[in-house]
């Protein structure tokens, strides 16, 4: 993992770091190809010794043909005269070079708070729920989304924080300057609105909020809810600590008819009203919430398009004959994740959970499951 600190490097260090990203298959100590040496030197000079600029520019050009003409063509576009903003210009250039779907995946990262460690699997499930990933009949959407994440890493638009023992990405982070870029471009495209807004709530009166993200300690939650309207597709509500905030939040979801992703994290008391009306919702994350109750007449089956339910760390109590019974009737389910036992005796005999890939912390009569009902189940932890 290459550090992203902005300490200025010497010329040779800059050149070596640039080549490491631009020619990733070059052997250690191998010289730069003679036909590229001059233009590579000029490109690395454009970065003014800034490591982030060097690795992002190197990542960008690694997708181009290894020819003088191709590299010189990129160099000719970098005829900037404004001093001091070289790094942000290079980051913006790399963003503009990405294909459309990869741009959207990058902009989605603006949803997360500053310095937030993002779970790769969680991010992938959100991308899938938002339909940001192009369809590939030969791969699952999750595998295709993982490829998109790897491309962002290869382009150095996101930094790997940790990996699983098999080498796959476990978590990632966004550098502050790249987050600034994501927020700027997301705001310009009205892709996501991050609260609080420096212009104030009144500035949003005539704006359609497509996706909304709030870190609770920095903004009045009631104003936040009032700003979000019926057109909102995604709702992110990040707390700071379940032990710091003792307020009871009554979140009325009735008006969010088009929402696809709801992510609520680290809140002590949450009562969500109207969830049953969110028929378009594909991802419901209620992470690390201290108390959460479900009405006895609530039916999960009404959420007929639900793909992911993630309630890890949330104190919830589901009776074996309670609301969860209907959950297993949802044929679109892909991931059900919990850190407390959920009752599961297999899907009803007339339901095939052909999309279900992962179950976490479930209990029941495993022997009653039918393989043809759970053909793609990869992970089951109990």
Answer yes or no: is 184 within a domain.
Answer: no
324 and 243 belong to one structural domain: yes
| The pLDDT value given to residue 322 | 53
61 and 22 belong to one structural domain: yes
153 token code pair? 């890493």
pLDDT tens track for 99-133: 999 999 999 999 999 999 999 999 999 999 999 99
Residue 160, SS3? strand
Answer yes or no: is 55 within a domain.
Answer: yes
161 and 205 belong to one structural domain: no
pLDDT tens track for 158-189: 999 999 999 999 999 999 999 999 999 998 99
**159-163/169-173 β-pairing:** antiparallel
Cα dihedral sign, 24-29-35-40: positive
User: What stretches of the chain adopt beta strand conformation (E)?
Assistant: 118-119, 159-163, 169-173, 193-195, 211-215, 234-238, 248-252, 261-265, 269-273, 283-287, 291-292, 308-311, 335-343, 358-363, 379-381
Here the CATH number for the domain that contains residue 197 is 3.80.10.10
76 and 107 belong to one structural domain: no
Bond before 196 cis per omega within 30 degrees = yes
Answer yes or no: is 93 within a domain.
Answer: no
pLDDT tens track for 31-74: 888 899 999 999 999 988 899 999 999 999 999 999 999 999 99
The total number of structural domains in the chain stands at 3
Domain that holds residue 363: 192-381
Positions of the chain with pLDDT lower than 70, given as ranges: 1-6, 81-84, 196-206, 216-227, 241-251, 268-272, 290-297, 315-324, 340-349, 361-376, 378-382
104 and 35 belong to one structural domain: no
| The pLDDT value given to residue 3 | 45
**Closest alpha carbon to 2 in 22, 31, 29:** 22
197 and 126 belong to one structural domain: no
| The pLDDT value given to residue 148 | 97
Answer yes or no: is 2 within a domain.
Answer: no
| The pLDDT value given to residue 79 | 81
Answer yes or no: is 183 within a domain.
Answer: no
Here the CATH number for the domain that contains residue 125 is 1.10.10
262 token code pair? 């709801």
307 and 211 belong to one structural domain: yes
| The pLDDT value given to residue 243 | 47
Residue 92 contacts residue 155 (beta carbons within 8 Å): no
Contacts with 302 (C-beta within 8 Å, 6 or more apart), sequence order:
276, 277, 279
DSSP letter at 376? T
């Amino acid at each position: 993992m290459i550090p992203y600190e902005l300490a200025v490097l010497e010329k040779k260090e800059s050149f070596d770091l640039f080549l490491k990203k631009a020619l990733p298959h070059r052997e250690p100590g191998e010289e730069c190809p003679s036909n590229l040496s001059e233009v590579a030197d000029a490109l690395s000079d454009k970065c003014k010794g800034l490591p982030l600029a060097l690795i992002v520019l190197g990542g960008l050009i690694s997708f181009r043909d290894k020819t003088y003409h191709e590299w010189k063509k990129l160099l000719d576009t970098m005829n900037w005269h404004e001093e001091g903003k070289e790094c942000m210009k290079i980051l913006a250039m790399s963003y503009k070079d990405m294909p459309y779907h990869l741009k959207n995946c990058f902009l989605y990262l603006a949803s997360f708070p500053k310095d937030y460690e993002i779970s790769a699997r969680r991010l992938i499930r959100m991308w899938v729920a938002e339909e940001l990933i192009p369809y590939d009949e030969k791969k699952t959407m999750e595998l295709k989304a993982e490829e998109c994440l790897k491309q962002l890493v290869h382009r150095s638009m996101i930094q790997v924080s940790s990996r699983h023992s098999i080498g796959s990405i476990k978590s990632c982070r966004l550098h502050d300057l790249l987050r600034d870029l994501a927020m700027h471009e997301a705001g310009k495209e009205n892709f996501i609105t991050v609260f609080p807004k420096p212009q104030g709530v009144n500035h949003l009166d005539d704006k359609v909020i497509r996706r909304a993200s709030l870190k609770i300690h920095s903004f009045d939650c009631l104003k936040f809810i009032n700003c979000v309207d019926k057109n909102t597709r995604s709702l992110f509500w990040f707390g700071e600590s379940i032990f710091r905030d003792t307020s009871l939040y009554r979140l009325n979801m009735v008006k969010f008819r088009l929402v696809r992703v709801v992510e609520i994290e680290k809140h002590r008391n949450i009562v969500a009203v109207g969830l049953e009306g969110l028929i378009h919702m594909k991802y419901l994350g209620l992470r690390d919430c201290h108390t959460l109750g479900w009405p006895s007449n609530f039916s999960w089956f009404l959420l007929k398009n639900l793909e992911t339910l993630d309630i890890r760390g949330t104190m919830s109590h589901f009776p074996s004959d309670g609301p969860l019974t209907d959950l297993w009737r949802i044929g679109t389910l892909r991931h059900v994740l919990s850190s407390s036992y959920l009752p599961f005796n297999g899907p009803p005999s007339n339901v095939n959970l052909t999309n279900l890939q992962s179950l976490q912390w479930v209990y029941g009569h495993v022997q009653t499951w039918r393989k043809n009902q759970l053909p793609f189940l990869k992970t089951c932890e109990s």
